[in-house]
Structure 1
Amino acid sequence: MGETVYSWGHGRRYNDFPTYFRALFSERVQKVSIDAGFTCPNRDGSKGLGGCTYCNNKTFKPTYCNLENSVSSQVLKGIDFFARKYEAMKFLAYFQAYTNTYAPLDDLKRLYEEALEHPKIVGLVISTRPDAVSNELLDYLAELSRKVYVMVEFGLESHLDRTLESINRGHSFSESVWALEETAKRGINNCAHMIVGLPGESRDELLDQARTVSQLPVKNLKLHQLQIHHGTILARQYNENPERFHLYTAEEYIELVVDYLELLNPAIIVERFISQAPPDLLIAPKWGLKNFEFVAKVEKRLAERNTWQGRLFNE
């Protein structure tokens, strides 16, 4: 008997991002992170102050991202960092820190187009909030996406409004739905970013999240286990009331991810299951697993259970 080929066209038991990306580009493509000096509407007072309770941007910002460096300079430094490992490759400029659409449109155009000036940059990945994009901006990105790869990554974080309020997101889930629908109808690639295990969310509610996400025009999905980082409001809350938190063990989370995948629309491309923070910033949980090690464990568990992404979709 030959290998099972699933609806996404290959034999891996979930619709994985690396396979999709290799098929999309004929060569190795790597994201280069850029910090363009943005803030957020729930930091500067327009929606709130203090930012999201879990947020410490140092957990995902490479050392070459520095506000003293221009976008062009950060692109060059990022490309140089990866070029030492791989000679032939292209890059995506990843506007990652804070809310990367939170500025006047003319300023955004200047920053995005500055990044695209480098001949090895073949597209943009723009991390933002669903309440920080306008029709005008999306029309511009739709036009841009006809020339280069454009992905807009939305921090949805939860499908429950009570959770969004408790983590000080400053937007509702209906705004998330609007943002996904508006990007999809313009043909712009989108990505939904969800944090799994936020305080007060039950396992059943997290599986319901998979069903909810599956009904939306989501192209890519990033899952991120709840982590408590030093220097955050969440760290203080965890210290004061640890009983409010259920921090999954790696084994529990693997099982939850497999259950989540079974319910997930098979058309959705899964970009990642976990996030890694620098050890000196991480309070808990400390699994000691790298991304590729976690993926291997999920794939092993999918095989052991003889299941796959979407097996229970629409059932």
Structure 2
Amino acid sequence: MQHSKILYEKGILKNLNMLTQSQYSNFKFVGRLDNIKTFYSGIKALNFGEYGSFQITDDGFRVTVENGKTIQASLFITMSCFSEYHVDGIVNFSINMNVISECLGIFSATNCSIKMFYKGHSAPLIIVLEPHDEDNITTECAIKTTNYEEPIDFSLDEDNPSLNVIFIRGPDLSNIFHELDKAAEEIEITLSPRRPHFKIDTLGVMQSEASIEVAKTSDMMMLFNCRETTTARYNSSQIRLTLKALSVASKVAIKTDSSGLLEMHFMMQSEDRAEMYVQFYITPQADV
């Protein structure tokens, strides 16, 4: 990682302020976000694994992190969120998540834009940070990339008759999760077309239990589509990994079916009201 290097003097960037079409052809990917705050929140939510797999296409920008075969999280940013976006085909690479998180954190407390450049295989990911209120300050970082690792293909079958889907307001769900027992070892989630509709149970030290129920008619429930009763138990430490994304989410989609695989979508609005998404897949306890 190189801080505050004048990259255009090294031939990596030919013009920091404006790239011509011919200069775009030197890069496999160029993207600009006018404010890093939501992007930084998404990257922090994924910073539980050492490396993130980046895949950039015409559909958008995706980063995926895994921990073993039990939890996977992805940050997805649509092309419409970028004020500049150029990609040549499909761009894949992996980078250290702690490094990019530290780079973005340099100006995380202020309004700041980010521009990203990637030349191709084995080249570093170049990020240029420019605070809005500081005309004379620019920070450039070059982050080493490694070979792309294909993430596990987790998915829920939309045609499965046991598929249950709810949408709940993010701040309300955040309050619920912060009320849960921090010492709980397991969290059990029930979705049902009948009462209790949406229920969270905790099992903690000395087998102590707590329970929270949310009716489908609750004001915090934005959509309720449950076909069959599903109940599964999860490692609470994995559920807690979602809290960073939940803390900035405007709404959350929760999906599961009879397999117990839990899918959670956290929808975050950027400063210009565009939506970014963090998606988690969490596998259930095998012995329950």
TM range (shorter): under 0.3
Larger Rg: 2
Name the structure with the higher strand share: 2
Name the structure with the higher helix share: 1
Query: Scaled by the length of structure 2, what TM-score is found?
Result: 0.24
Query: Scaled by the length of structure 1, what TM-score is found?
Result: 0.22
